[in-house]
Every structure is written in structure tokens, then in C-alpha cells.
């Protein structure tokens, strides 16, 4: 099987590594890829936002399966264009990808499907903002209605900060989504679906704030771990039954079936799981942890999703133990990152590239904000943390920063879901 992966981040590096372990894969390519991916797959150039260009590359390369990693090409219709060219594609249609591309659309789907989620309100006019803000709080959740790479959200107890963020979005022509705050530990659950059948992967937890102790602004994600030692045995089944399957059924009933990876971001409240958001693709950095533990060959699994045969696929198999991912970010991130700095220590096992390129002299240099994801595994969460941070210590990037507390509280037994009311 010839498999083409679309994207250039650590998520795509993780996908490429997992696909390379599948004996059914005879050729593997990634576009546009990065310096780390280049060691495991052919590299091709493509504008991921150009759906026609993605489909043309898939035809030219004679792909048997295309796996679209990022949300941008999916929202732009890349999966539709690839399927129209007669090539199986792992990823939802442009219409179904609106579950991430428009938070207002996602809320409408969830409300129609009876999925528990935060109360929300869309504001598209500054004149309505103050009255709307008064209906929320004292913790305000203010989101960009569209794609914002994980950085369009502000959660704050300060009303002035909430208003300032909302005005910035509105002044930029972006509608604002206000939500009630959901307390309780957060969970990321990736679910494979062919539009009918739902198969969950291991649950994970990510860390969105830039600083230790969940301080500072939101980012695209500074680390993750999987699975969750503190989760109830029936948590995954409960989330699928209450939150994911109803959305899959609702989208199918609307004539826009979702095929690919439906990512549910949830808060475990005292009333049970409630959805914070749905995404239309593998999450980053959770993917780096989850796929590290997957024993089932990935290409055949994704092809079963893309061709509507997921119900026929054998049950998934997983490695024992845990995986912890720590993101190394460039100086300045999540603001304007410093780029072009040489990175050393990138060739070690468990170091996944996100924003890198290789210069003509062979040096690997940074090209963006979240530069590397470093993954460690272990028999328990403490051992996985130790392995991850030991690998982090071998990487050098001038001015870089990373969180030192990824999975720390969970490893110490300090995370628990709230008791039900």
C-alpha cells in the first residue's frame, strides 16, 4: 500500500512513524513534511490549503490511501477532492469538517443530538457584547468561532480581559462564541468513524497553557499523556455512548456523514462528561502519545475507515504502559516565535519534529513555535515522565522553553474525576 500523509507537524511525524511500522505499507510520503519526517518518508511539496493541489499530488504519486493530518486542508475540502479523484482518503468532507471549522455549527449539531455541552451564545456585533458577557461568568470562556490553531480561546476570571479578547476577535471580523465554564479535569478522546461505526482510541489529557501550573496564555498544546490512570473503567464507553455516537448519527442524518477521526475534547464535571469542543482530526500533541502505544497496524485501520469497513476490523491492540509527550517551544511562543536557530539532539528516538527544516549544510533549524515533541514511555506514568524529560535534556535550542509538569499531578495520584451529583 502506498500511503501519502498531508501535513508538516509532530502529529504527522507520529502518523508517519506509526505507518512505517505497518508491514502492508510499501511506500510512504509526506507533504510538505519536515526535517524529522524526511528520515522515514519521501518528501513532496504541496500547499495544504489548496484542495486541488493535494488531490493532484495524490494522483501523481499514485497513492492508495491519503491521510490528511491538519484541520486546514480538511476545512478547505481536501478529502472531497482526493475522493473525487478516486483515491481513498482518511478525513472528513468539507461539510462534516465544519464540526471544527465553525463552533456555532458544532453547537447546533450537539444540541440537536442531545449531547451534553456548555451553554453558549454567538456574538457577531460589538453592540451586543456587554449584555452577552453579563449573562456569563464569573469565569468567562471566550472563543474565536473559526479555526485559531488552539490559540483563539481565553479563559479568565477577569471581565476586562474577556471583553478585550472578544473585541479583538470582533474587530478582526471574527464572530465570538461565549461559553459557560466547565469545571473538572479535561479529557481528549480520539474516535475513528466511517460515518456509522465508532471505534475509540486510548483517552489522553493535554496541557494547553504555556506555563507550569496551567499559567499563561493558551497554546496549541504543550504536552500530553495517555492513558489516564485515574479514569473510571467505563469512561471511554460512556463518552462514546453519550457524546460521540450521537454526533456521528446526527451528521449522517443531515446527509453529511463524518468519516475519519472525530476528536472529542471534554470536561469531566459532577454531572458527567460534557463536550468542550469537537475537532475533525488527530489532536496535537495527544497523537504523539496515543500512537506510540498503538500495536495494531495503522494503515489497514485507516483504510478500513476510509472505505466504510470499520465494523469488519479486528479489535485494537495496545502496548502496556504509558506515554508522556513534552513540547519544546521556540523563544517567544505563543506570541511571535524566534526561528532559524540550530537544534541539536533531534535524531534521538522519541524526538518528533514539528517546525523544523534541514539546511544545505545538514543542520536542523527551527521554523515555528512548537518545534519538537519529545515522547517517553514507561510501565507507569512516573517512569514515562522520567523517560520523556531525560530525552528533553538532550535537546538544545537557544531560548527554547517547555513545561516541567506534564503529567506530574496524575503521576502523583492528584487527579480525579468529580463525584456524580
The secondary structure of 300-318 as a DSSP string is HHHHHHHTT-GGGSPPP-B
Q: Which pLDDT does position 236 carry in this prediction?
A: 97
- Phi-psi category of 251—alpha, beta or left, where left has phi over 0 and alpha has psi -120 to 50? alpha
Q: Which of 183, 185, 180 is nearest to 107 (CA)?
A: 180
pLDDT (average), residues 226-250? 97
pLDDT on residue 49: 95
Residues of each domain in the chain carrying CATH 3.40.50.20: 2-90
Quick one: pLDDT band at residue 417, thresholds 50, 70, 90? confident
3-state DSSP call for residue 226?
strand
Per residue in 387-411, pLDDT tens?
Answer: 999 999 999 999 999 999 999 999 9
Q: Is 355 exposed, middle or buried (0-12, 13-18, 19+ CB in 10 A)?
A: buried
- Cis amide bond preceding 180, omega within 30: no
Q: Is the pLDDT of residue 152 over 90?
A: no
What mean pLDDT is predicted for residues 283-300? 98
What is this structure's pTM?
0.90
Q: Which of 15-19, 220-224, 238-242, 266-270 shows the lowest per-residue confidence on average (mean pLDDT)?
A: 266-270
Nearest-angstrom CA–CA distance, 47 and 51: 8
Q: What phi and psi, each to the nearest 5 degrees, are found at residue 93?
A: -65, 165
* pLDDT at residue 145 tops 80: no
**Per-residue model confidence (pLDDT) at position 148:** 57
Q: What is the mean pLDDT of the chain?
A: 94
The answer to whether 268 and 185 have CB atoms below 8 angstroms apart is: yes
* Band (28; pLDDT cuts 50, 70, 90): very high
* Domain 322-411 = CATH 3.40.50.1100: no
Comparison of pLDDT for 92 and 418, the residue scoring more: 92
Distance CA 130, CA 163 (A): 8
Give the right CATH number for 119-179 from 3.30.1490.20, 1.10.3720.10, 3.40.50.300, 3.40.50.720: 3.30.1490.20
Least confident of 157-161, 301-305, 317-321: 157-161
- Polymer length of the chain: 421
Residue 294: the pLDDT is 98
Helix, strand, or coil here: 116?
coil
**Rounded-to-integer distance, Cα 15 and Cα 303, Å:** 14
Say if residue 421's pLDDT is above 60. no
Does residue 412 surpass a pLDDT of 80?
yes
Q: Once rounded to an integer, what is the mean pLDDT over residues 216-238?
A: 95
Roughly how many angstroms between the first and final C-alpha of the chain, as a whole number? 50
pLDDT at 150 over 60: no
* Helices 298-306/10-20 angle, 10° precision: 110
What is 183-312's CATH number? Answer: 3.30.470.20
258 pLDDT above the threshold of 80: yes
CA–CA–CA angle 391, 396, 402 (5° rounding):
70
Phi, psi (rounded to 5 degrees) for 41: -150, 155
Cα gap 29→103, rounded to integer Å: 32
Residue 104 has pLDDT above 90, yes or no: no
Which CATH code of 3.30.365.10, 3.40.50.20, 3.40.50.2300, 3.40.50.1360 fits the domain covering 2-90?
3.40.50.20
For residue 420, what pLDDT band results from cuts at 50, 70 and 90?
A: low
The residues of the chain that CATH labels 3.90.600.10 are 322-411
Question: Cα–Cα distances in Å, from 370 out to 215, 221, 366?
Answer: 17, 9, 9
- Return the pLDDT at 66: 98
pLDDT tens, position by position, 350-372: 999 999 999 999 999 999 999 99
What percent of the chain has pLDDT above 70?
98
Say how many C-beta atoms besides its own lie within 10 A of residue 313's C-beta.
17
pLDDT at 151 > cutoff 70? no
Residue ranges, CATH 3.30.1490.20, the chain? 119-179
Q: What is the mean pLDDT of residues 333-345?
A: 97
Amino acid at each position: 500500500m502506498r500511503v501519502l500523509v498531508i501535513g508538516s507537524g509532530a502529529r504527522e511525524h507520529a502518523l508517519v512513524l506509526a505507518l512505517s511500522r505497518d508491514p502492508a505499507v510499501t511506500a510512504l510520503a509526506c507533504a510538505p513534511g519536515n526535517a524529522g519526517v524526511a528520515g522515514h518518508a519521501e518528501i513532496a511539496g504541496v500547499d495544504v490549503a489548496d484542495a486541488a493541489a493535494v488531490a493532484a499530488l495524490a494522483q501523481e504519486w499514485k497513492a492508495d490511501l491519503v491521510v490528511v493530518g491538519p484541520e486546514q486542508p480538511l476545512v478547505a475540502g481536501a478529502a472531497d477532492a482526493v475522493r473525487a479523484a478516486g483515491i481513498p482518503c482518511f478525513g472528513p468532507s468539507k461539510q462534516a469538517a465544519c464540526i471544527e471549522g465553525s463552533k456555532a455549527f458544532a453547537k447546533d449539531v450537539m444540541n440537536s443530538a442531545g449531547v451534553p455541552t456548555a451553554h453558549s451564545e454567538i456574538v457577531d456585533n460589538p453592540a451586543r457584547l456587554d449584555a452577552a458577557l453579563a449573562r456569563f461568568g464569573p469565569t468567562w470562556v471566550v472563543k474565536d468561532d473559526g479555526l485559531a490553531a488552539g490559540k483563539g480561546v481565553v479563559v479568565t476570571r477577569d471581565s476586562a480581559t474577556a471583553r478585550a479578547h472578544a473585541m479583538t476577535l470582533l474587530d478582526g471580523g471574527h464572530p465570538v462564541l461565549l461559553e459557560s465554564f466547565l469545571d473538572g479535569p479535561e479529557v481528549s478522546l480520539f474516535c475513528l468513524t466511517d460515518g456509522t461505526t465508532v471505534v475509540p482510541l486510548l483517552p489522553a489529557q493535554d496541557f494547553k497553557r504555556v506555563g507550569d501550573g496551567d499559567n499563561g496564555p493558551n497554546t496549541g498544546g504543550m504536552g500530553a499523556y495517555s492513558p489516564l490512570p485515574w479514569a473510571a473503567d467505563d469512561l471511554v464507553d460512556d463518552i462514546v455512548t453519550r457524546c460521540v455516537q450521537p454526533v456521528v448519527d446526527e451528521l449522517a442524518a443531515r446527509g453529511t456523514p463524518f468519516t475519519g477521526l472525530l476528536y472529542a475534547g471534554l470536561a469531566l464535571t459532577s454531572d458527567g462528561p460534557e463536550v468542550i469542543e469537537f475537532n475533525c482530526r488527530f489532536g496535537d500533541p495527544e497523537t504523539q502519545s496515543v500512537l506510540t502505544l498503538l500495536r495494531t497496524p495503522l494503515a489497514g485501520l485507516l483504510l478500513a475507515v476510509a472505505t466504510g469497513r470499520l465494523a469488519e476490523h479486528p479489535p485494537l491492540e495496545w502496548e502496556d504502559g504509558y506515554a508522556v509527550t513534552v513540547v519544546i517551544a521556540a523563544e517567544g511562543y505563543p506570541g511571535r516565535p524566534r526561528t532559524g536557530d540550530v537544534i541539536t539532539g533531534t535524531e534521538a528516538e522519541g524526538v518528533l519534529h514539528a517546525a523544523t527544516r534541514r539546511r544545505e549544510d545538514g543542520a536542523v533549524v527551527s521554523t515555528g513555535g512548537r518545534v519538537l515533541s519529545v515522547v517517553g514511555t514507561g510501565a507507569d506514568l512516573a517512569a514515562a515522565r522520567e523517560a520523556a524529560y531525560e530525552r528533553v535534556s538532550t535537546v538544545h535550542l537557544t531560548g527554547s522553553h517547555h513545561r516541567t509538569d506534564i503529567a506530574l499531578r496524575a503521576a502523583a495520584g492528584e487527579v480525579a474525576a468529580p463525584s456524580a451529583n
